[in-house]
Amino acid sequence: MESKPTAYYKTPIGTAKIIGDEDGIIAVTVLDNEIETSKNIPNCLKECIQQLDEYFKGTRTTFNLKLNPQGTSFQKKVWKELLNVPFGKTRTYLEQTKKIGDPKAIRAVASANGKNPIWIVIPCHRIIGTNGSLTGYAGGLWRKKWLLEHENGSKQQSLF
């Protein structure tokens, strides 16, 4: 497979590796090792980095990017439905299975969430256990907790 344009962007919770081309963003993953933000960002990735930067600064609540995740038709169906979970809100895995029309597919939906190639933009971090627990997250539960707190904190107004 030929290599696709790639860039690195430092976030408060790790370095994001962004891969894409003219057809859209293929992957946004988080790395555990620190890599400096790319100096020469390919044109096809600049908007993604800009929007991620705004998200982490608390000024962006939705993404408007051309996405091109690679996966099975079922995975793509699950990922597409994840895009409907609003900023600052959560859904359970059971609610997610009902949204895709297959309430018995909890494990398959959880597996598809775990294989989501476009971190944050396709917000699998907003899916929680039926009991409200922060279940599995490929980037680590501490990152899931951070992202949910970030989204909830930026919406609340202090009265004092």
Identify the pLDDT of residue 138: 77
At a CB cut-off of 8 Å and minimum separation 6, what does 22 contact? 44
Tens-place pLDDT, residues 28-69: 999 988 888 899 999 999 999 999 999 999 999 999 999 999
Q: What residues are labeled active site? A: 124
Identify the pLDDT of residue 35: 87
> Which fold does the domain 73-153 belong to in CATH?
Arc Repressor Mutant, subunit A (1.10.10)
Tokens of 42: 């390919």
DSSP 17: E
Query: Domain-by-domain residue ranges, the chain?
Result: 6-57, 73-153
φ and ψ of 31, to 5 deg: -105, 150
The DSSP bridge partners found for residue 127 are 91
> What residue type is 16 in one-letter code?
A
Identify the pLDDT of residue 2: 61
Tens-place pLDDT, residues 2-31: 689 999 999 999 999 999 999 999 999 999
At a CB cut-off of 8 Å and minimum separation 6, what does 49 contact? 7, 9, 18, 41
- Rounded to two decimals, the pTM is 0.90
Q: Can you tell me whether residue 7 is helix, strand or coil? A: strand
Give, in degrees to the nearest 5, the angle at Cα 36 between 35 and 41.
115
1 burial class (0-12, 13-18, 19+ CB within 10 angstroms)? exposed
